[in-house]
Amino acid sequence: MKGGRKNLKRASKEEIQTLLKGQSIMQVVSLRGSNLIEVMDAAGQKSLALFPAKFQKSMWIKRGSFVVVDESGKEKALESGSKVACVVLQVLFYEQIRVLQKSTEWPEIFQTVVMNDSNCHTQTPPSNPEEELNSSDSDGLAPLEGNLNRSRPIELYSESESNSDADS
């Protein structure tokens, strides 16, 4: 892994200390194309944000994700006729969101959003397996079926075949 990507991954795992002036937390509403995303701020206003190329090969986002954006030049960009109003500085992961939800910096509009591991792209297993079984996410849904498109490996030697061959 190159130095830039390694440093980017390390920085993404660090916790956010505080938001600086001009930075805010926004939720991804939709993906518009190669490096443009539509985000919603704490006031409920939607705007376009630039997702820098340095993030594209090392992390991904989807609808409902949270990001930290720099909107210091938003008014100037809108006055000049540019549709892109802000730039993504950091993608927030599950652990970072949990810490920020407990702080005063988390916007009130996002308090009602229920977050889970699948929305925040983390691959960490749940801390307690009993909590996963008792979760209400799968209530009322049918269990998942196995993939029938994949063939199972052939068992060369099994006891049932050897017994039936010996009896014949």
Distance CA 133, CA 121 (A): 20
- Name the burial class of residue 16, with classes exposed (0-12), middle (13-18) and buried (19+) by CB atoms within 10 angstroms of its CB: middle
For residue 44, being part of any structural domain is answered with yes
For residue 88, being part of any structural domain is answered with yes
How many domains does the chain divide into? 1
- Rounded to two decimals, the pTM is 0.61
Which domain does 67 fall in, by range?
Answer: 3-13+23-123
What tens digit of pLDDT does each residue of 71-117 get?
888 888 888 888 888 999 888 888 888 888 888 888 888 877 655 54
CATH of the domain at 9: 2.40.50.140
What tens digit of pLDDT does each residue of 38-59 get?
999 999 999 999 998 888 777 7
